[in-house]
Amino acid sequence: MAIEKFITITSTCVPLSIENVDTDQIIPARYLKATSREGFGDNLFRDWRYDNNNNPKPDFVLNNPLYKGKILVAGKNFGSGSSREHAAWAIYDYGFRVVVSSFFADIFKNNALNIGLLPVQVSERFLARLFDIINKNAGTEVKVDLENQLITIVPTGESEKFEINNYKKTCLLKGYDDIDYLISLNQKIINFEQNR
């Protein structure tokens, strides 16, 4: 299953200015019972998004019609906790293609990259600026250019470089996935097994 190619994305953003958003918040365990990958977006941030009677909570940002877009902007230490890839699936399935934060948990970052969701790690200062501008104007567009590893706040032109390892960058740009690559190493793996 190859991943979707990541081309430059320009979009409005959804601001989630909370730190330490953990995987149990992104998708609570009781929604992990499916045996296929589809439909997790419906339960993204389930307990913040809906009350006990399944009514949308009006003060949660995903329920605010002002904010939409393919870019989720979140506080420091995003995605800590479980290794459940369901967290990344839920974000992707909801329609996001990029998550911006000043710090990501390791497993979440790997999982996101493996499914074609781009984690963009920016400085605390840039993140604060981003929240500020989006809060003032929900229509603010942000451009994420993977080729040049650059994130830009379109109306002001402020931008920052972000890091990604070359291998993963190529995978995303071309829509490759790791399994094809590992299969191609088959003989090497067998040799490794025999020589250890």
Instruction: Give the one residue of 74, 107, 117, 122 binding other proteins; rule: CB under 8 A.
Output: 107
Torsion of CA 113, 65, 63, 138, to 10 degrees: 60
120 beta partners = 100
If one asks whether residue 163 binds other proteins (CB under 8 A), the answer comes out as no
Is residue 56 close enough to count as binding other proteins by CB under 8 A? no
Q: Does 22 sit near other proteins (CB under 8 A)?
A: yes
Residue 33 interacts with other proteins (CB under 8 A): yes or no? yes
166 belongs to the binding site for other proteins (CB under 8 A): yes
The verdict on 80 binding other proteins (CB under 8 A) reads: yes
Choose among 107, 50, 49: nearest CA to 77.
107
Q: How far is CA 149 from CA 8, 121, 133, 152, 188, in A?
A: 10, 11, 21, 10, 33
Q: Is 29 one of the binding residues for other proteins (CB under 8 A)? A: yes
Write down the least CB distance from residue 82 to other proteins, Å.
5
